[in-house]
Structure 1
Amino acid sequence: MLRYILYSVIFFIFSIDVAFSKEEAQTSPRQKVVELIKKGLSEWSKRDFESAEKFLVNAQVQALEIRDTQLYITSTNNLGILFNTKEEYFKSRECYQVVLDFVSEENVSKSRFLALLNMGISFRKSGDYEHAILYLIKTLEYAKNFPSGKELASCYNEIGTVKLQQKLFDEALEFFQKSLQIRERIGHKKGVAGSLNNIGDTYKKMGQIRKALDFYQRSLLIKENLGNKKLIATTCNNIGLLYIKLEDYELAKNNLRRSMSLKEEMKDKLGIVNTCISFGQLFRIQKNYTESEKYLLRGNRIVEEVGSLHLKKEIYKELKELYLTKKEFGKMTTYYDRYVEVKDSIFNVESMKSINELETRYQTREKEQQIEVLNIEKEAKANESFYMKIVLGVFLFSLLPIGFFAKQRQKTKILKEKVAASNNESTRLGMELHDSIAGDLSHLCRSMEKVNGDDTFVKQLRKISDQVRGVSHQLNMNAIANQNFRDALSDSLYLNHFPQNIDLQIHLPVGFELEDFEKKINLIRIVQELVNNSLKHAQASSIVIKFRKESKSIQFEYADDGIGADLNKIRKGNGWFNVQERAELLSGKIDIQTSPGNGLYFKLVV
């Protein structure tokens, strides 16, 4: 979050320095917009996001009224970064696209650079790494137009962050090192500290604790010279955690105390909670359960006040571990239940964000279509003239095809509504299954594990509980549709628990993606239906799934080596009707080949 606030402040300062001369700054309407942006950033720094959004939207509107393009771009870009912070990624990308539409590609400007960079960050934060890399590569090329090198270093740093989240550690280190070299050359101390910290994060995730510690300490020295208390406190906390891993508990304690002292001085409540968690871990490992409990309960009180779900999850997890170690199973069960409840709440919040984003996309598309229809009607009325009689004659002859198309349109509408209802019901069932049955099964498993954790029946029950949770995720099509296609396909087929005796091959070209979420949902549903048939009825031992793009079409091929079936019988089955309806909705062409003893081959061109 700090990174995005920093970008906002940098962007604002740049805009003021470049866009406004001293004479213009005295102009009342322009100065009013500048003040609105300042107020928005001020409210943002206080974490009052609603108020910040109101000020920035107001600035955006007033900038349009006075026809000041630069101020409009400034407020829009900052609004996009705010939406990123609020995890409203679709809204943030809409803002960045507005900026990109305003600023031509030929115009080398900081505004376009920041919009491209933030677009990549938005995709990265939403877990869409493929699109993040695509935008960051565009940003990389654009950044080469700036002589300072600062922009180029930022691009390398962001690409490294994506690679780190993808667990491509060698590539992450390569990009972080490139960023570090540029920042050292131009003397950008804060940037150098950030790059060193990121390299430390990478080595930490690689399990190379000594190397991670070295880079964290180098980063800390620079932050101390800069006097940035917040960054110092965060780094001290990270160093403390590394010393815990190295079992040097005294140095761990010293660093955590320093971190806590700075966070208390700044009244950084979220930071205090994080350090309370770190202290809880340290004292639990040292078997000082009284101190561990003291810090964790303090963190729990604060987190209840600030209401961060993610920090609640971490606190409950640590309290559960503490009481498990102390063999206080009653308290352990209480906090484990709270941990599961919060984890499920986070899942539901993310699902609702996905649903809202999908609805926003749908509504945007509907509005665009309505505008297009209105424009056509307007143009038609403008062209009305004495040719009306001729048009009327043509109209009479066209009644037959119009009737046909109207009937076809009605059929498509009914089919669309039916498929949409099926998707909505599937999603509803998935969420209910996740919140009720899966939760009850999990609670039952924990209760039985306390009595006899090694019992075969208990293990089987745990397996069933995991499978129910997996099925709930498979059913939630809104959550799946918000992922990139590869991850969506993986989750929908529950690949982590796919039968090991089945040879499953999935062929997806690098960068294969579908922007149309309806097309994505329907194709994934077709795959699920075919796989379900192969596993339950066809007795297949091998399944091959292929997707590829050719020109403007998408080609999907599916084959199994099962027992096959009579084609006429297949066409009478409910599963085939579902596949056929979805293919028809996509205006796709189907080719299906099967016979008894010869497996199944299915091809769909959309």
Structure 2
Amino acid sequence: MVTGCGHKKIDFSRRLILWQLSVVLAFLFLNVVVVFSQDAQQVKGELQKANGIEKVDMLNKLAVEVWNSDRKLAYDYSVQALKGAEDIGYGHGRATAIKNMGVVKFFTGDYENAKKYYRQAYSIFDSLTDKKGMGACKHNLAYICHLQGEYQKALELYQESLQIDMELGDDEGIARSYHNIGELYYYLADYSLALKYFQDALDVFTRLDNKSKMSELIINIAAIYEMDGNIEQAIHRNQDALKIAREADNKWIEGMCLCNLGSNFIGLNEPDEALDYLIRAILVREEIDDEKGMMEGLQLIGKAFEQKDMVDKAIDYYFQSLKYSEELGDKRNTAETFTFIGMNLAYKKRYADAIQYFMQSLEIAEGIGARAEVLENYHQLAMVWSSKGNYDSASFYIQKHALLYDSISGKDIPLGLFKEEALLLDNNPLEKKIYTYRIIILIGSILLFALAVILVMVLRRK
């Protein structure tokens, strides 16, 4: 359980899992080109001797080799490959180069240009009847729709990509699709389906004995441990993943692992240790222009300062994170950050301002169907109206919270996913108050009904 600022405790670990899963899946789905284990320096040497189709293919290969460590170089290789392919009329090389340019734009947070390149590449792959390329572009487009809150569109594209992978018998593509579909269902709070798809993905990668992909899934396993309250095991898994990332010189995954470890120590209420990891994560992510990673890292730094009871500093970091999320068009993270700002304002007893931020968050969350964020905002609005002494408004949000929570928890979900909800009652007086109000409302309704029955009976006797 993560302690919030002051008198509040929130189900923060579930929220952290959403972005942890989100980030690792980007790495999974973007690796759509089969890359043979070959030293990059050797490839550069061979490049000088190559020409025509061979040279274009090598440039595209080099772009994939370096896009996790040097975005600019990866883009330059892709541009060179595109020019070479156009000069010799090599359609597949041209489509692959454009797709790779989209990947680099995605990594740097330029989603609109990434989508433009993916669509251009898809059109060329389609004209070549290259189903593998078509499936890869659909998958990449799906992921951006996913990040921008267009969940239904993302699901449709994922399913189309999965169908192509199945037709081709592409086991790695199938596993990648399973993984991303599972992550999407996680955002929609359909945890049973999310877990099914995660397990399906893990089964395929295990069958393929793909150590690289299995190691990437360590991060997801760590996230599940964190969700279940086993923080020490989550730390152990994330440290394993960090070691693998550094051995592979994968700065992107390294930054994510550092960020995850920061969130783990937040879960242990050790903000100083968390800040050590998070500041290192920010430095790595600045180095590779990872704007999404910056957004997430700054948000977690805000949380660490919350735990240190440095509320103004926490709010400052939340606003820095908010700037990135709005620029990226990341609606879910925008909603989430509005909620965190509102919580800190409520702690400062700036209730009217807090309510405005909660309502902004709620509007966005409802618009994209992010039920976990909707649930959190109902919870926070109930608490803040209760603090203002407006029990009618508090009871309104208590009831909305109860209805949505019951609709989610009524599904076939492992108990561990909701274990922290029960802990709230033991550790938070305000949570007890909310649930007390729910009981009072229920009992009051029963008493009113009974009184009405008695009055009817009395009137009939008269």
The TM-score range, normalised by the shorter chain, is 0.5 to 0.7
Whether 1:218 and 2:280 are equivalent positions in the alignment is yes
Q: Which residue pairs with 2:202 in the alignment?
A: 136
Deviation string 1:272-307 (CA, Å, 9 cap, x unpaired) is 332221121112223232432343344456557767
When residues 22 and 455 of structure 1 are mapped into structure 2, their CA distance, relative to the original with a 3 A threshold, is closer
Q: Which residue pairs with 1:323 in the alignment?
A: 385
Amino acid at match of 2:397: Y
Deviation (angstroms), 1:339: 3.9
Deviation (angstroms), 1:195: 0.9
Deviation (angstroms), 1:176: 1.7
Distance (Å, rounded) in 2 between the aligned partners of 1:171 and 1:97: 36
Whether 1:155 and 2:198 are equivalent positions in the alignment is no
Whether 1:102 and 2:168 are equivalent positions in the alignment is yes
Amino acid at match of 2:202: L
Is the CA contact 2:179–2:201 (under 8 Å) kept in the aligned structure 1?
Answer: yes
Question: Which 5+ residue runs of structure 1 have no aligned equivalent?
Answer: 105-111, 355-445, 462-606
Whether 1:17 and 2:60 are equivalent positions in the alignment is yes
Amino acid at match of 1:236: L
Root-mean-square deviation (CA, aligned residues, Å) is 5.2
Q: Which residue pairs with 2:334 in the alignment?
A: 272
Amino acid at match of 1:195: C
- Please, which moves more after superposition, 233-242 or 24-33? 24-33
Deviation (angstroms), 1:236: 1.9
Distance (Å, rounded) in 2 between the aligned partners of 1:25 and 1:163: 49
Question: Which 5+ residue runs of structure 2 have no aligned equivalent?
Answer: 1-21, 36-56, 65-80, 413-432, 448-462
Distance (Å, rounded) in 2 between the aligned partners of 1:89 and 1:306: 13
Aligned equivalent of 2:266, options 167, 188, 204 = 204
- 2:32 match: secondary structure: helix
When residues 163 and 92 of structure 1 are mapped into structure 2, their CA distance, relative to the original with a 3 A threshold, is farther
Deviation string 1:497-554 (CA, Å, 9 cap, x unpaired) is xxxxxxxxxxxxxxxxxxxxxxxxxxxxxxxxxxxxxxxxxxxxxxxxxxxxxxxxxx
Deviation (angstroms), 1:240: 1.6
When residues 254 and 61 of structure 1 are mapped into structure 2, their CA distance, relative to the original with a 3 A threshold, is closer
Aligned equivalent of 2:374, options 279, 291, 312 = 312
Deviation string 1:215-252 (CA, Å, 9 cap, x unpaired) is 33332232233343332232222222232233232432
Distance (Å, rounded) in 2 between the aligned partners of 1:448 and 1:251: 32
- Please, which moves more after superposition, 82-91 or 306-315? 82-91
When residues 138 and 311 of structure 1 are mapped into structure 2, their CA distance, relative to the original with a 3 A threshold, is closer
Distance (Å, rounded) in 2 between the aligned partners of 1:198 and 1:137: 24
Residues 338-357 of structure 1 mapped to structure 2, 5 A cutoff: 338-340=400-402, 347=408
Whether 1:243 and 2:305 are equivalent positions in the alignment is yes
Residues 277-426 of structure 1 mapped to structure 2, 5 A cutoff: 277-300=339-362, 308-340=370-402, 347=408
Deviation (angstroms), 1:194: 0.4
- 1:183 match: secondary structure: helix
Residues 389-538 of structure 1 mapped to structure 2, 5 A cutoff: none
Amino acid at match of 2:375: K
Whether 1:119 and 2:181 are equivalent positions in the alignment is no
Is the CA contact 1:236–1:259 (under 8 Å) kept in the aligned structure 2?
Answer: yes
- 1:194 match: secondary structure: helix
Is the CA contact 1:183–1:191 (under 8 Å) kept in the aligned structure 2?
Answer: yes
Distance (Å, rounded) in 2 between the aligned partners of 1:100 and 1:267: 32
TM-score, length-scaled by structure 2: 0.56
Is the CA contact 2:122–2:134 (under 8 Å) kept in the aligned structure 1?
Answer: yes
When residues 218 and 305 of structure 1 are mapped into structure 2, their CA distance, relative to the original with a 3 A threshold, is same
Deviation (angstroms), 1:341: 5.7
Distance (Å, rounded) in 2 between the aligned partners of 1:159 and 1:182: 15
When residues 159 and 260 of structure 1 are mapped into structure 2, their CA distance, relative to the original with a 3 A threshold, is closer
Amino acid at match of 1:194: M
Deviation string 1:145-167 (CA, Å, 9 cap, x unpaired) is 7xxx6x56423323333444455
**Normalized per residue, which structure has more strand?**
1
When residues 178 and 117 of structure 1 are mapped into structure 2, their CA distance, relative to the original with a 3 A threshold, is farther
Amino acid at match of 1:132: F
**Normalized per residue, which structure has more helix?**
2
Is the CA contact 2:361–2:377 (under 8 Å) kept in the aligned structure 1?
Answer: yes
Deviation string 1:192-228 (CA, Å, 9 cap, x unpaired) is 1101122233343455555444333332232233343
Is the CA contact 1:133–1:159 (under 8 Å) kept in the aligned structure 2?
Answer: no
Q: Which residue pairs with 1:188 in the alignment?
A: 250
Distance (Å, rounded) in 1 between the aligned partners of 2:364 and 2:156: 31
When residues 182 and 143 of structure 1 are mapped into structure 2, their CA distance, relative to the original with a 3 A threshold, is farther
When residues 298 and 134 of structure 1 are mapped into structure 2, their CA distance, relative to the original with a 3 A threshold, is closer
Is the CA contact 2:96–2:121 (under 8 Å) kept in the aligned structure 1?
Answer: yes
- 1:187 match: secondary structure: coil
Q: Which residue pairs with 1:253 in the alignment?
A: 315
Q: Which residue pairs with 2:296 in the alignment?
A: 234
Is the CA contact 1:320–1:333 (under 8 Å) kept in the aligned structure 2?
Answer: yes
Q: Larger C-alpha radius of gyration, 1 or 2? A: 1
- 2:349 match: secondary structure: coil
Deviation (angstroms), 1:101: 5.6
When residues 144 and 214 of structure 1 are mapped into structure 2, their CA distance, relative to the original with a 3 A threshold, is same
Is the CA contact 1:84–1:92 (under 8 Å) kept in the aligned structure 2?
Answer: no
Distance (Å, rounded) in 2 between the aligned partners of 1:285 and 1:343: 24
Amino acid at match of 2:198: A
Deviation (angstroms), 1:330: 2.5
Q: Percent identity?
A: 14
Q: Which residue pairs with 1:174 in the alignment?
A: 236
Is the CA contact 1:79–1:95 (under 8 Å) kept in the aligned structure 2?
Answer: no
Deviation string 1:121-151 (CA, Å, 9 cap, x unpaired) is 5456454647634642652574657xxx6x5
Which structure carries more relative contact order (alpha carbon 8 Å, separation 6+)?
2
Residues 537-548 of structure 1 mapped to structure 2, 5 A cutoff: none
Deviation string 1:289-331 (CA, Å, 9 cap, x unpaired) is 2432343344456557767554333333222211111111222
Distance (Å, rounded) in 1 between the aligned partners of 2:260 and 2:434: 42
Distance (Å, rounded) in 2 between the aligned partners of 1:81 and 1:267: 13
Q: Which residue pairs with 1:515 in the alignment?
A: none
Is the CA contact 1:140–1:155 (under 8 Å) kept in the aligned structure 2?
Answer: no
When residues 190 and 47 of structure 1 are mapped into structure 2, their CA distance, relative to the original with a 3 A threshold, is closer
TM-score, length-scaled by structure 1: 0.45
